[in-house]
Amino acid sequence: MSDLSGNVAVVTGASGALGGALVRRLLAAGVAVAALDRDRERVLAALGEEGERLSAHGADLADSGAVERAAAQILARHGRVDHVFNVAGAFAAGGPVEAGGLELWRRMMDANLHSTLNVCRALVPVMKGQGGGTIVNIGSRAALGAEAGVAAYSVAKTAVLRLTEALAAEGKRSGVRVNCVLPGTLDTPANRAAMPEADVAGWVDPEALIDVLLFLSGPGARAVHGAALPVFGLG
């Protein structure tokens, strides 16, 4: 982690369990962090007050205009962006594909694909202009194969994987490395509450996933472009 000291990172979904833990790891390693989520006050409640190396920003990540404004604020505060971690996302199950309306599909695409797409569209040109940077997107094990009742989520996360590959192909000659991780179920308080009867022994420790995110952003992964790295734990 010392290799990232002095750099600037953007973390989306910064008020959540994984995003918040990632922000704290980055700050402890000497990285300046722009913490981005839908609600700036929620970021502050999760992480504490802003400081010399921490800024909090609020934007609806599914709204491209709001993301562009947040990106401008981040650049005004920090001057550059070296790393982007697109942690923001959401999961919701549903019935059969033919059941119900399209609201669940829109929600899953907004929360998972469009949030990632808008942040990348706003910040990839910045990285290309400054000579490089890294992006790590959060996919899902569900991107590799759908199960009954989770089609909308699976399709959205599959789109994140394809977006990662396209961005990697477009950015590598400009020094922009783009990869994604495909985690299994994370061991978070929210997931434990949602699945109280589940066997959590095989779930993924968020700190272990953060280790992978930081590796993909560091110089040890300098030859890795467009990877979709499974992080399944023991599940």
Residue-wise pLDDT tens for the chain (235 aa)? 458 999 999 999 999 999 999 999 999 999 999 999 999 999 999 999 999 999 999 999 999 999 999 999 999 999 999 999 999 999 998 889 998 789 999 999 999 999 999 999 999 999 999 999 999 999 999 999 989 999 999 999 999 999 999 999 999 999 999 999 999 989 898 899 989 989 898 899 999 999 999 999 999 999 999 999 999 998 7
Q: Which residues contact 199 (CB under 8 A, 6 or more apart)?
A: none
Using the structure block, give the residue that is written with the tokens 């722009």. 34
Q: Are 8 and 76 in contact (CB under 8 A)?
A: no
What is the domain count for the chain? 1
- 220 vs 160: CA distance, rounded Å: 24
Q: Which residues contact 65 (CB under 8 A, 6 or more apart)?
A: none
**CATH label of the domain that carries residue 147:** 3.40.50.720
Q: Which domain, by its residues, includes 138?
A: 2-231
Active site residues: 153
Using the structure block, give the residue that is written with the tokens 């000579």. 131
3-state secondary structure the chain: CHHHCCCEEEEECCCCHHHHHHHHHHHHCCCEEEEEECCHHHHHHHHCCCCCCEEEEECCCCCHHHHHHHHHHHHHHHCCCCEEEECCCCCCCCCCCCCCCCHHHHHHHHHHHHHHHHHHHHHHHHHHHHCCEEEEEECCHHHHCCCCCCHHHHHHHHHHHHHHHHHHHHHHHHCEEEEEEEECCECCHHHHHHCCCCCHHHCECHHHHHHHHHHHHCHHHCCCCCCEEEECCCC
What pLDDT shows up at residue 205? 93
- 41 vs 26: CA distance, rounded Å: 20
pTM: 0.96
What pLDDT shows up at residue 100? 76
Select from 98, 82, 128, 92 the least CA-distant residue to 112: 92
Contacts 24+ apart (CB under 8 A), 99-105: 104/152, 105/152, 105/155
47 φ/ψ angles, rounded to the nearest 5 degrees: -115, -10
